Amino acid sequence: MDGRTIRDILGYLIGGLLVMVLIPLGLYRASQAFDHVTGMHLIPIASLRVTVAVILSFSGLLFAVWSNVGLNRIGKGGPLEVAGVEISPKTETLVTTGPYKYTRNPMLFGTCLFYYGEAVYLNSVIASALVTVFMIFMLVFVKKVEEPRLVKDFGTDYEWYRQQVSMFIPRIQKRQRFKNV
Beta bridge partners of 85: 82
Count of H-run helices and E-run strands, the chain: 6, 2
Q: How many CB atoms lie within 10 A of CB 167?
A: 14
d(CA 169, CA 13): 27
Using CA atoms, how far apart are residues 145 and 147, in angstroms rounded to an integer? 6
Across the chain, which has 181 residues, the per-10-residue mean pLDDT values are 74 84 96 93 95 97 91 78 60 91 95 97 97 96 92 94 94 61 48
Please tell me the distance from the alpha carbon of residue 68 to that of residue 86, in angstroms, as a whole number.
16
Neighbours of 52 (CB within 10 A): 17
Using the 8-state DSSP alphabet, how is residue 86 labeled? Answer: E
CB atoms within 10 A of CB 151: 14
Architecture of domain 3-164: Up-down Bundle (1.20)
- State how far the Cα of 100 lies from the Cα of 107, in Å rounded to an integer: 9
d(CA 35, CA 143) in angstroms, rounded, equals 32
Q: At what angle do helices 23-38 and 106-122 cross, to 10 degrees?
A: 50
Quick one: pLDDT at residue 131?
97
For the chain, give every domain's residue range.
Answer: 3-164
